[in-house]
Amino acid sequence: MTALQLPDYREQSTQVKERFDALKNRPVELSVNALGKIFHGKKDVESLRDINLAVHNREFLIVLGASGCGKSTLMRILAGLETPSEGVALLQDQEIQGPGPDRGMVFQSYTLFPWLSAKQNVMFGLEQTVGKGKETESEALQWLDFVGLAKFADSYPHQLSGGMKQRVAIARALANRPRILLMDEPFGALDAQSRAQMQSLLLQIWSKIDITIIFITHDLDEAVYLSDRILVLKPHPGRIAELIENPVERPRSSDQFLEPKFLAIKQRLEELIHPKLSEPEAPVFRMTQVGNEVE
């Protein structure tokens, strides 16, 4: 069987080049310059080294890389929950120095308050910024409607499925009108079908709202399906391996999963994340018997 001939992922058509030129002409929303992070302890861990990046207004940036390569550390620095050891992270040219309403966060572990209903969870952040009142309540309901959960406004988190909980978490994050949505494997705990639904919902939201998204995932299909660009990190210490411009046309649909361009990027991501290792030699006393081999 001959191998499938895939296009070179770096050779971009004129339309795709134009798309990325336009993206890079948009104002820089967030940038990191020579960013490094070392965790000090019994043994120091260098989590990130020399990360340089500019994320543009309304860009959808995916961050991908093997476990332990510093993705969450980077996200926590952008969220203002961790301070860099070197370099700076800037949000609209202002150094990030702690959390702020300009950044909304959605994480893999469900972070809703279990004692509050879906509506009250969404209202929680709004009450801090806008204040309490009927308007806050009706705005919270509008956000729940926007993520398809109007009927579940009075349900409590334990009465909702994983996908529904993440919808509430997205509504809650968006209600505070952040400039940037920081998402750390937000759909990682969902089953394949809910995950696919959430991906298309997120693309719909992103197309309608002025928001820049930074999204961490381990899933290559998810990375290619959602992204404008894909930042691939390599581990020990976490460094940039490659920043890939995704040529797959928008609007996206699941039909594109088998397009040559889609497969070419996926293959490249696979090579970057799981480089071929030399075959390990089994200890001699555990060698298999002739006739006992597995395929």
Ligand X SMILES: Nc1ncnc2c1ncn2[C@@H]1O[C@H](COP(=O)(O)OP(=O)(O)OP(=O)(O)O)[C@@H](O)[C@H]1O
Stretch that binds ligand X, among 64-72, 197-205, 260-268, 287-295 (CB under 6 A): 64-72
Q: Are strands 45-56 and 180-184 parallel, antiparallel or unpaired?
A: unpaired
Interface characters, 21-60, with Mg ion (x: CB under 5 A): ----------------------------------------
Token output for 62: 């995916």
Residue with smaller CB distance to ligand X, 164 or 181: 181
Q: Cβ 69 to ligand X, closest distance in Å?
A: 4
| Residue among 53, 69, 174, 269 that touches ligand X (CB under 6 A) | 69
Q: CB of 182 within 8 A of CB of 103? A: yes
**Over the Cα atoms of the chain, what is R_g?**
21
Going from the C-alpha of 82 to that of each of 39, 89, 101, 117, 256, the distances in angstroms are: 10, 11, 16, 30, 38
Interface characters, 57-76, with Mg ion (x: CB under 5 A): ---------------x----
Total chain residues near ligand X (CB under 6 A): 12
Q: Cβ 287 to ligand X, closest distance in Å?
A: 33
| Beta strand extents in 2-85 (DSSP E only) | 28-39, 45-56, 60-65
Nearest to 47 by CA among 18, 76, 27: 76
| Residue among 17, 39, 92, 253 that touches ligand X (CB under 6 A) | 39
Token output for 183: 């998402």
Applying CB under 6 A, does 49 fall inside the site for ligand X?
no
Residues that bind ligand X (CB under 6 A): 39, 41, 45, 47, 65, 67-73
